[in-house]
Amino acid sequence: MGKGTVYSAIQPSGNLTIGNYVGSIRNWLTMQAEYDCFFAMANMHAITVRQEPAELRRRTLELAALYIACGIDPEKCTLYVQSQVPQHAELAWVLNTVTYVGEMERMTQFKDKSQKHADNINMGLMDYPVLMAADILLYQAEFVPVGQDQTQHVEITRDIAVRFNNRFGETFTVPKALILKQGAKIASLQEPTKKMSKSDENPNASVYLTDDRETIMRKFKRAVTDSGNEIRFAPDEKPGVSNLLTIYASFTGKTAEEAEKEFAGKGYGEFKLAVGEAVADKLAPVQAEQARILRDKAYLGGVLASGAERAYKTARKTLSKVYRKIGFYQGE
C-alpha cells in the first residue's frame, strides 16, 4: 500500500507567527516522512486582498526559504508556488460550474474578510473556496491538515468533489480533514481569548518567525497575564498564563504540566522572560538558515522550479481527466 497524499498551503501575505509554526509547519515535518506531500505558497489566494506586487514576490521567496529552514525537505515533498501551476486556475473555473452561490455566501471567511475589506469585496474573495477545492482535488489529496476552526474549507471541497463525481463519474478523491492536535492553539499575547493572527493590527499581539531576539523579548514582557500571581494551566480561569505555558511547552518539548511545575512559586516577570528566551533560542537557527537560503538564489530558484514541474505533472493528469469527463475537446 502506497503513501497517502497530503495537500497544504500558506499564503505569502503578512509574516508567519509562532502559531503558524507550531500549528502547521512543525506538523508538516512529520508528515513529509509519512505521506506524499504537496506544500504550496498560495500566492493566487493572497491577491483576493490588495497586495503590493514587489512585496508579494519577495514574501513568496521568503516563505519558501522559511519552509526549508524549518526542516521541510524538497527531496521528500513537492514544494512549489501555486501560480506556477496553471491547472489550479483552470480547474477552479470548471468547479465553479458545480458550486452554488449560496454556498459561497455562507462561508465564514468570506463574511469576515468582507467586513475587514469593505472597499474591496471582489469575486475572488467570494470564490476562494472553489480555488482551494481545486488546489486539493488536483493532487487527489486524501488528507488536508487543518485546525479545528478550518474544517469548513475541507467540507466545501468534499461537497464539490462528491457533486462532480455524482454528475460525471468517479474523478476526484474525496479528501478528509486531518485535524492537528499538537500545539493546539497559540493565542494572542494581548487578547489571550483570541487566536494569534499574522494580520493582527496590534504589533505586540503576535510573535513573528522573523522577529529578532530583542523584539521577541519585548513582546513577551508586554504579554497579558491574569489577576493573581499563580502560574497554573487553567485556560478558562487564566487564559493569559495558560497561553504562555502552551507556548513554553511547544518550544521546549515539555508538557504544560511540566512547565507549570517548573515555574511554581515564581513571579510573572521571570516566567515571561523564560518563555521569550525559549522562543528566541528556537527561532535563531531557523532565521539564520532562512537568510542563508535567500542569499543562494540559484538554489532556491531551482527548488521551486523542480517543485513546480513535479506538481504540474500530477495536476495535468487530473485536469486532463476532468476535461475528458465534461466533454472538452483536447485534440486527437
Tens-digit pLDDT profile for residues 216-244 = 999 999 999 988 888 999 888 999 999 99
Q: How far apart are CA 6 and CA 77, in angstroms?
A: 10
Q: Where does the chain have alpha helices with state H?
A: 18-20, 26-34, 43-46, 53-70, 87-96, 101-105, 108-116, 123-138, 151-168, 213-221, 239-252, 256-262, 268-295, 297-326
Query: Which one from 185, 198, 282, 325 is the annotated catalytic residue?
Result: 198
Tens-digit pLDDT profile for residues 260-313 = 899 988 999 999 999 999 999 999 999 999 999 999 999 999 999 999 999 999
Query: Which one from 76, 185, 195, 325 is the annotated catalytic residue?
Result: 195
Query: Among 3-17, 48-62, 84-98, 210-224, which stretch is predicted with the lowest mean pLDDT?
Result: 3-17
200, pLDDT greater than 90 = no
Q: How far apart are CA 93 and CA 115, in angstroms?
A: 26
Q: What's this model's pTM, rounded to 2 decimal places? A: 0.88
pLDDT of residue 86: 98
pLDDT of residue 34: 92
116, pLDDT greater than 80 = no
C-alpha distances in Å from residue 205, one per residue of 18, 20, 28, 263, 290: 11, 14, 25, 23, 24
Q: How far apart are CA 56 and CA 64, in angstroms?
A: 12
272 a catalytic residue: no
Query: Among 33-37, 60-64, 252-256, which stretch is predicted with the lowest mean pLDDT?
Result: 252-256
Q: Which residues pair with 179 in a beta bridge?
A: 146
Tens-digit pLDDT profile for residues 42-89 = 999 999 888 999 999 999 999 999 999 999 999 999 999 999 999 999
pLDDT of residue 279: 97
Q: Where does 139-178 have alpha helices with state H?
A: 151-168
CA torsion 67-70-75-76 (nearest 10°) is -100
Question: 181: pLDDT confidence band, cut at 50, 70 and 90?
Answer: low
Selection from 216, 220, 212, 215 nearest residue 189 by Cα:
220
198 a catalytic residue: yes
Q: What is the mean pLDDT of residues 130-157?
A: 90
More confident position, 230 or 38 = 38
- Side chain identity, residue 249: A
More confident position, 175 or 184 = 175
Q: What is the mean pLDDT of residues 211-215?
A: 96
3-state secondary structure of 195: strand
What is the chain's mean pLDDT, rounded?
91
pLDDT of residue 1: 44
Grid cell 492553539 in the structure block, residue: 185
pLDDT of residue 278: 97
pLDDT of residue 117: 64
219 a catalytic residue: no
Query: Which one from 3, 76, 111, 113 is the annotated catalytic residue?
Result: 113
Residue 301 in grid coordinates: 530558484
Q: Residue 147: which residues within 8 A CB-CB, separation 6 or more?
A: 23, 179, 180, 185
- Side chain identity, residue 157: T
Q: What is the mean pLDDT of residues 21-41?
A: 90
pLDDT of residue 226: 86
Give the per-residue SS3 of 166-184. HHHCCCCCCCEEEECCCCC
Domains, the chain: 5-179+297-326 (3.40.50.620), 213-290 (1.10.240.10)
DSSP letter at 187 equals B
Instruction: Report whether 41 contacts 72 (CB < 8 A).
Output: no
pLDDT of residue 114: 62
